[in-house]
Chains A and B, each alone.
Chain A
Amino acid sequence: MANHSDHSHGHDEAHAHGSLKSYIVGFILSIVLTIIPLVVVLNHMLSQLPTILIIMVTAVLQFVVQLFFFMHVRERQGNQPRWNVMALIFGLAIVLVVVSGSIWIMTYNGVGY
């Protein structure tokens, strides 16, 4: 136990706050993922549905890039559970329910407004 814990601790220290390389990679990926939807939308390259898909997919990918390369979401203390990841998943579940639920209900609401 002591051995293992010490090992993972050392590992954390080495990778804990990321390296210059990981920040640069994250930055470049973010720029690319921003330019793709901009080019598609501003040049009207695709019809509505594929455009929305590209916008949302690149946005989610960029969110993931920020989480992993900049916010170090995987960082943790020794063998402790990743409470921050659990809280994040919980928060995202609420957002998903609130946003999709609102859209769903208001799309079929012919009376309310």
Chain B
Amino acid sequence: MAQAVSQHGHDHAHGHDHGHHDPQELKMLGFWIFLITDVVLFGTLFATYVVLHNNTAGGPTAHEIFEMPGVIAETFILLTSSFTSGLAVLAMNAGKVKQLISWLVVTWILGASFIFLEVDEFIKMVHEGFNYGTSAFATSFFTLVGTHGLHVSMGLGWMLLIMIQLARKGITDVTRGKVNVISLYWHFLDAVWIFLLSVVYLMGVM
């Protein structure tokens, strides 16, 4: 810690032109810690799902209810959007604000398509008699996958606001920090989806 303080002092003494460095780095670390708490949240939901997924109470089983084509499409859409949000950060680092907003728009559209497919999937499930209260399996499934879907939806609203701010203010220290953070959030959501695909869908239909 003493070292961290001396480092801090050192940067200031030399008057680096990266005025954003310290507060933004601290925000980034704070956001990392938020993501870790989210990891724990998803961990508990995964534990619940894994324990309860065989308790179908006479309702549909994973085999009967999961439709893989839609899930595979969702997977590749989210994976691509994670990539494009990275390209947005690269465009920002190159100082190209139009390119940055364009990549964020692409990311947003991909994210919205993901949510559209997921909601469509849920609606079909409910029509087939598989709803939130059908069984312990259904409840834990909708809670786990729905929590991820809510995270993506929140991210979409947040990204929209950042795009508006970027269009109005351009790339500043503040907007730069925000783009870095949402990009990190977006990569994180893709990482969570990998485990949803693996543990819920792939192990469900195998």
Q: Residues on A close to B: CB < 8 A?
A: 1-2, 5, 17-20, 23, 26-27, 30-31, 34, 37-38, 41-42, 44, 48, 51-52, 55-56, 58-59, 62-63, 66-67, 70-71, 77-81, 83-84, 87-88, 90-92, 94-95, 98-99, 101-103, 106, 113
Q: With A38-B72, A56-B198, A71-B188 as known contacts, state yes or no: A23 contacts B90, CB within 8 Å.
A: yes
B82, A84: Cβ atoms closer than 8 Å = no
The stretch among B42-50, B121-129, B160-168 that forms the contact with chain A is B42-50
Q: List 18 A-B contacts (CB under 8 A).
A: A1-B10, A5-B7, A23-B83, A27-B79, A34-B79, A37-B198, A38-B202, A41-B202, A51-B206, A52-B203, A66-B190, A70-B86, A70-B187, A84-B33, A87-B36, A88-B36, A102-B47, A102-B51
Min distance, Cβ A64 to any Cβ of chain B, angstroms: 10
How far, in Å, is A80 (CB) from chain B's closest CB?
Answer: 5
Not counting A55-B203, A59-B195, a sample of 17 additional A-B residue pairs whose C-beta atoms are within 8 angstroms of each other reads A18-B89, A31-B79, A34-B79, A38-B202, A52-B206, A55-B206, A59-B197, A66-B187, A66-B190, A70-B83, A77-B7, A80-B3, A80-B4, A83-B32, A91-B37, A92-B39, A106-B51
Cβ–Cβ contact A91 & B191, under 8 A: no
Asked if residues A95 and B205 are in contact (CB atoms below 8 Å), the reply is no
- Asked if B43 and A94 sit within 8 Å, CB to CB, the answer is yes
- The total of chain B residues at the interface (CB under 8 A) is 52
Query: What are the residues of chain A within 8 A of B203 when measuring CB–CB?
Result: 52, 55
What total count of A-B pairs have CB within 8 Å?
134
Q: Is the Cβ of B51 less than 8 Å from the Cβ of A2?
A: no
Q: Which residues of B contact A106 (CB under 8 A)?
A: 51
What secondary structure prevails in chain B residues at the interface with A? helix
A49 CB to closest chain B CB (Å) equals 11
Given contacts A42-B68, A70-B82, A102-B50, A113 and B36 within 8 Å (CB-CB) = no
- Whole-angstrom CA separation of A95 from B36 in the bound complex: 10
Q: Which residues from A are CB-within-8-Å of B46?
A: 95, 99
A30 B79 Cβ-Cβ under 8 A: yes
A88 to B32, CA, bound (A): 8
Find out whether the CB atom of A79 lies under 8 angstroms from the CB atom of B50.
no
